[in-house]
Structure formats: C-alpha cells, structure tokens
Copies of this chain bind each other. A is one copy, B any other.
Amino acid sequence: MDNNFLGHHISQQFNVELEDIRTRVLSMGGLVEQQIHDAITALVAADTDLAKNVVKNDVKVNAFEVSIDEECARILARRQPAASDLRLVVAVIKTITDLERIGDEAEKVARMAVELADLERPRTQYHETQSLGEHVQSMLHGALDAFARMDVEAALKVAKEDESVDHEYEGILRQQITHMMEDPRSIKRAMDVIWALRALERIGDHSKNICEYIIYLVKGKDVRHLGLQEMEKEVVEE
C-alpha cells in the first residue's frame, strides 16, 4: 500500500509537472499575442515608443523558450514519459520553437513600424496591414485555445484559416507592388510595408504548425505535409 501510495504520489507530481509546462506554453503564447498586438498598433499609430518596447521585450519571449525547453529535457530524462505524455513533451518542444519565431516576426513588424513612423503615411492609413494583422492574431489565439483544450477540431479549423491568410497577403502584396510601379517615390515605404506583411504572413504559417502539433499530440498522427483534406480525415476518424 505504501508502494501504491508512492506510485500514486510520483504520478501526481508528474501530472503537476506536465500541467506546469502546458501552463507555461500558454503564458508564453499570451506574451507573444501581446507582442503582435503591440507591433501592429505601433505600426498603424506610428507609435515609435511602443514599437521599441516590442523589440526590447523579445528577450522575454526567448527566455520563455529556453526555460520551457530545459524543463522538457528534464522531464524526458527523469520521467521517461511514454505514449501521450511523451507526445505532449515533443509537441511542446516544437510549439515553443514556433512561438519563439512568431515573436521574432512580431519584432520585425515593430522594427518596420519604427522605420515607417518617419515616412509620409499612405491614404489607406495602413488599414490592410492592420486587417491582415488581426487575421493572424486571431489564428494564433485560436491555435493557443485549441492547445489549452486539446481540441483537434478547433485546431483543424485554425489550420484551414491559413489558406485565407495567404490569399489576403498575396492581394495586399500585389497592391503594394502596383503602388511602387505607379509612384516610384513610394518604393522605400512600400518595401517596409512588404516586410511587415511578410512577417504577418509567416505568423499564420507558424500558427498552423502549432495546430498540426496539437493533432499529432491528440491523435498520435503526424499530419504535417498532408493536404487539408487528408488532415481533416485524420481528425474526423476515431
């Protein structure tokens, strides 16, 4: 009975550790969401201080990645998890890499916000950039929410959204290139906008990656590089 209790206790403690890394991934995700939000706000409002703050805060995102990574390595070494516990740890290791890269993309948007703050504003007031930004923000939010609830159907829905983000991105990109051709004096500004757009589009890709890890984690099936239809089949199949 003592043994049983001990076994129970160890397993309880292990559960606490797994719960802890999940919580920390969500905290890291919350920080990264805030970074994107601030970077876009800074760009649209020409708020250089806010933009510089985003650049400065990227070290916090990086610190999260390093510390969660260390915790995962410790769990792998000490707990030797199997089956779904193991998949959770592997999925977390991959997820935080994507979150860290999303942080880098937010930083790029913030750097462009600093550049753009000194330039004449376009008539559109960066409306399209903001709109794409909100689109990928909602993708990331959905991905983190699906992660919190281990909800594969929600994950699939978010993954599907990436196509629509790509479509929106390509449309705005074409507009920017047309502007450059019509008014070569706008080239400097258009290029800065294009780098920001590109960073936002990448955030969509990374959010989709996170959704794929959730499906792997819950279903035990690697759905990367599958088409959306096949991915859907994996999710629906019991």
Contacts and interface: CB of A to CB of B under 8 A. Distances in A.
Interface of A: 59, 62-63, 65-66, 69-70, 73, 76-77, 80, 82-83, 86-87, 90, 93-94, 97, 177, 180-181, 184, 187-188, 191, 198, 222, 224-225
A82 B76 CA distance: 8
Top 5 closest A-B pairs, CB basis? A80-B80, A62-B225, A184-B184, A66-B222, A77-B82
Number of copies: 2
A196 to B, nearest CB: 14
A interface SS class: helix
A199 to B, nearest CB: 11
Contact of A70 (B63, B191, B222): B222
Contacts of A191: 177
Contact of A77 (B77, B83, B177, B184): B83
A82 B62 CA distance: 25
Contacts of A65: 224-225
